């Protein structure tokens, strides 16, 4: 099985990356294939509401060449998707918001291409607003008919400077637990799918 992590932070080697990679490491130990990408820091545009994805249904955003379509392709091939973001004014970064809006809308326009996949939000924050970031990401998973596993104390790491996440022992333990939960759920879902196909939710976008 494959897990894809996409990081909305512009900071390479930063806290969100540390948290995401802990989840990936745990899943790798459980035999999963892992992929890590960073969209933070890339010149990503927001959704232009052109509705071409709804008209063309070609699994692509019409804004080409800014990494969102690459992420979308990788998302389609993954069984589990981790979207990670630092907290910026109590919300996701602008790059992560662009990915959520554009990839999320293309997926809905293409017969729910993310439905039945596992989705988990991972968030770094210094002091406040982390649960709101967690909510913002989970809204995309839940409107997409994805399966969201629970974990301990949500999936948040308390951190300010690059590397601080490593000092948040409880946060790091949560990432290991999240990885273990995803590994268990992935196996259970694969077994269930042998008997019953996932009920696809076709959405008519208005």
Ligand X SMILES: Cc1cc2nc3c(=O)[nH]c(=O)nc-3n(C[C@H](O)[C@H](O)[C@H](O)COP(=O)(O)O)c2cc1C
Interface with ligand X, residue 137, by CB under 6 A: no
* Contact characters 117-136, ligand X, x per CB under 6 A: -------xxxxxx-------
Contacts of 59 (CB under 8 A, 6+ apart): 72, 76, 106, 110, 113
Q: Is the separation of the CB atoms in 83 and 8 below 8 Å?
A: yes
Alpha-carbon distance of 141 to 188, in angstroms, equals 19
| Binding footprint of ligand X, residue count (CB under 6 A) | 20
In the complex, least distance from residue 199 CB atom to ligand X, rounded to whole angstroms: 36
Interface with ligand X, residue 15, by CB under 6 A: yes
Alpha-carbon distance of 31 to 144, in angstroms, equals 26
Number of other CB atoms surrounding residue 47 within 10 Å? 19
Interface with ligand X, residue 160, by CB under 6 A: yes
In the complex, least distance from residue 138 CB atom to ligand X, rounded to whole angstroms: 18
Interface with ligand X, residue 14, by CB under 6 A: yes
* Contact characters 77-116, ligand X, x per CB under 6 A: ---------xxxxx--------------------------
Comparison of 15 and 145: residue with beta carbon closer to ligand X = 15
Bridge pairing between strands 33-38 and 156-158: unpaired
By CB under 6 A, which span of 14-22, 97-105, 112-120, 180-188 interacts with ligand X? 14-22
Interface with ligand X, residue 37, by CB under 6 A: no
Interface with ligand X, residue 41, by CB under 6 A: no
* Main-chain phi, psi angles of 68, to 5 degrees: -70, -45
In the complex, least distance from residue 12 CB atom to ligand X, rounded to whole angstroms: 9
Q: Which residue has the tokens 């969100």?
A: 16
Alpha-carbon distance of 93 to 17, in angstroms, equals 14
Number of other CB atoms surrounding residue 191 within 10 Å? 9
Q: Is the separation of the CB atoms in 35 and 6 below 8 Å?
A: no
Nearest to 5 by CA among 48, 35, 42, 47: 35
Interface with ligand X, residue 141, by CB under 6 A: no
Among 68, 108, 109, 159, binds ligand X (CB under 6 A): 159
Residue nearest to ligand X (CB): 14
Chain residues that interact with ligand X, rule: CB under 6 A: 9, 11, 14-17, 86-90, 124-129, 159-160, 162
């Amino acid at each position: 099985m494959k897990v894809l992590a996409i990081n909305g932070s512009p900071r390479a080697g930063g806290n969100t990356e540390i948290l995401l990679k802990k989840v990936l490491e745990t899943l790798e130990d459980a035999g999963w294939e892992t992929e890590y990408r960073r969209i933070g820091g890339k010149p990503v545009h927001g959704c232009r509401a052109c509705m071409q994805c709804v008209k063309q249904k070609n699994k692509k955003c019409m804004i080409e060449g800014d990494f969102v379509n690459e992420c979308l392709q990788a998302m389609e091939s993954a069984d589990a998707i981790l979207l990670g973001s630092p907290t910026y004014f109590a919300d996701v970064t602008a790059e992560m918001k662009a990915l959520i809006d554009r990839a999320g809308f293309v997926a809905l326009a293409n017969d729910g291409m993310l439905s039945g996949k596992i989705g988990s939000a991972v968030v770094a924050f210094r002091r406040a607003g982390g649960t709101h970031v967690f909510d913002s990401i989970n809204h995309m998973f839940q409107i997409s008919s994805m399966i969201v596993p629970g974990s301990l104390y949500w999936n948040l790491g308390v951190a300010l400077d690059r590397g601080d996440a490593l000092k948040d022992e409880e946060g790091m333990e949560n990432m290991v637990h999240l990885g273990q939960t995803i590994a268990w759920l992935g196996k259970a879902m694969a077994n269930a799918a042998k008997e019953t196909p996932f009920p696809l939710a076709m959405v008519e976008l208005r």
